[in-house]
Amino acid sequence: MFSASWIWIYAGSILMLLELLAPGFVIFFFGLSAATVGLVTAVAGDAFSLTWQLAAFSGFSILYLVTLRRYLRSVFSGSRSESPTDFGHEAVGRTGKVTERIEPPHPGRVEIGDAEWTAVADGPIAAGAEVRVVSNNNLTMKVEEVK
């Protein structure tokens, strides 16, 4: 019941599951190597001694790490892409109302859509005036009065 092949397969399964707890995607390949050695041991039987099992485990580990890691890492981690569009770029050209007077060099507040933002302008703009977003710097909108 607890032959060497089953021990290798159990150890491989445990190592592959441990990958869920540890980042880096390395432990998985040791588990895959152990499972491979378990299958080879089951097929070869007594002809595959412990020394050869350990040598095969080392060899398969290196082989899997070198050949499969880059490919499988991209498959499991997926791809990340950052959107070139953020609210700051979308806000340019939108109009809103000044909720707190803008008096350069001090910022004021504007309401654009359903959000309120810090705003700056080249000249003073009274509260209640309609403005258009010209540009933004992080969370501060640069606005101009719509005439």
Read off the pLDDT of residues 67-104 as tens digits, 9 standing for 90 and up: 887 777 666 665 555 444 444 467 889 999 999 999 99
Q: How many independent structural domains does the chain possess?
A: 2
Overall pTM > 0.85: no
Q: How far apart are CA 46 and CA 43, in angstroms?
A: 9
Q: Are strands 140-145 and 115-120 parallel, antiparallel or unpaired?
A: parallel
pLDDT (average), residues 97-116: 94
- Going by pLDDT thresholds of 50, 70 and 90, the confidence category of residue 125 is very high
Q: How far apart are CA 108 and CA 115, in angstroms?
A: 14
Residue 21 vs residue 129, higher pLDDT: 129
Q: Last residue of some domain: 77, 106, 129?
A: 77
| Degrees, nearest 5: CA angle 69-71-73 | 60
Angle at which helices 4-18 and 50-77 cross, to 10°: 30
The tokens for 69 are 């890691």
CB distance 43 to 52 below 8 Å: no
Same domain, 23 and 50: yes
What range does the domain containing 139 cover?
A: 87-145
Same domain, 71 and 94: no
Same domain, 23 and 64: yes
Q: H-type helices in 1-145, by residue range?
A: 4-18, 27-44, 50-77, 87-91
Nearest to residue 133, comparing CAs of 86, 89, 95? Answer: 95
- pLDDT given for residue 83 in this prediction: 46
Q: How far apart are CA 130 and CA 139, in angstroms?
A: 19
CB count, 10 Å around CB of 15? 18
97 three-state secondary structure: strand
Same domain, 54 and 102: no
Q: Is 82 within a domain?
A: no
Q: Is 116 within a domain?
A: yes
- pLDDT given for residue 109 in this prediction: 96
